[in-house]
Amino acid sequence: MGSIVYYLSLPFIYAVSLMPFWALYLLSDLFYFFIFKVFAYRTKVVYTNLKNAFPEKSEQEIKEIMRKFYVYFCDLTLETLKTLTIHPTSLMKHVQMENEEVFKRFYDQHRSVIIVMGHFGNWELAGARFSQEKLHKLYVIYHPLANKKFDHLVYYMRTRLGNRLYAMNEVLRGMFRDKALLTATAFIADQTPQPQGAYWTQFMNQDTPVFKGTAKIAKKMNYPIIYTSVWRPKRGHYIVKNELLIENPASFSEDEISEWHTRRLEQDIKLQPELWLWTHRRWKHRKPQIMD
């Protein structure tokens, strides 16, 4: 069954990928109508997340953020398919990099780095764009798909321009194996871990578990942590902004590292909330009670 779905989907996926951007966004507008207006895809989850994250905002403001989010969400979905065939020249036109010097500094020092980011803006286009910088080799952490054919397609999509991948359960092993190389390992650090063993903090006005893995690995490897965010000044254009967050993670505790990158992402979400992935059930776990 999985193979049938794959082969039926493949012509559509490539057709979307080969569309010029103007046609892609016409299709995205149609998707927006059906996904948001007709099928109301995860609107209850999005609405609840936004109300809890922004209790100070009015009903009208929440609904406007929702509308903007679904426009972005449909664009994000189709833009991600675009990375399957996009030419580097088109990437350079649509995705701008800022402050690449923060990478060059450590590249010149022959130091690998860790990138920490969230599901904010188009992280897939940003990763593809990074491949054109000719500095560190980008390694992206990914979760292999159960469907082997779709997994192969996604693997190809993310590596065709020169980037590499680490499977989630092989990150530390892979980083030690590649220690002689100059790498930038990208952690998307706002996913939902199991409540036990997570670092708990207040994030977007709610008790939130944070993966400790990013902090553990950064501290163990002592690679500088660069915070990267992907802004969208207008439709079809992104700006990838980079800043040094922590130069020597070994000097800080895991909890401090987790707190800093979480606070930094929160700051960006508050400035442009429609660019974060609100369909994600980020707050499905409750903080464990500490027993006396």
What is the SS3 string spanning the chain? CHHHHHHHHHHHHHHHHCCCHHHHHHHHHHHHHHHHHHCCCCHHHHHHHHHHHCCCCCHHHHHHHHHHHHHHHHHHHHHHHHCCCCCHHHHHHHEEEECCHHHHHHHHCCCCEEEEECCECCHHHHHHHHCCCCCCEEEEEECCCCCHHHHHHHHHHHHCCCCEEEEHHHHHHHHHHCCCCCEEEEEECCCCCCCCCCEEEEECCEEEEECCHHHHHHHHHCCCEEEEEEEEEECCEEEEEEEEEECCHHHCCHHHHHHHHHHHHHHHHHHCHHHECCCCCCCCCCCCCCCC
Q: Is residue 180 within 8 Å of residue 226, measured between CB atoms?
A: no
Q: Is residue 166 within 8 Å of residue 187, measured between CB atoms?
A: no
pLDDT of residue 197: 87
pLDDT of residue 26: 98
* 149/147 Cα distance (integer angstroms): 6
Angle at 153 between CA 151 and CA 159, to 5 degrees: 100
What is the phi/psi pair of residue 198, to 5°? -85, 165
* 156/150 Cα distance (integer angstroms): 10
* 278/232 Cα distance (integer angstroms): 16
- Comparing CA positions, the residue from 129, 285, 110, 113 lying closest to residue 196 is 285
Domain segments of the chain as ranges: 2-275
pLDDT of residue 292: 46
pLDDT of residue 289: 75
- Comparing CA positions, the residue from 240, 250, 150 lying closest to residue 186 is 240
pTM of the model as a whole: 0.94
Q: Which residues of the chain have pLDDT under 50?
A: 292
Query: What are the tokens at 80?
Result: 């991600």
Angstrom distances, CA of residue 267 to CA of 53, 86, 116, 136, 229: 12, 31, 14, 27, 11
pLDDT of residue 290: 64
Length of the chain: 292
pLDDT one-digit tens code per residue, 253-286: 999 999 999 999 999 999 999 999 999 999 999 8
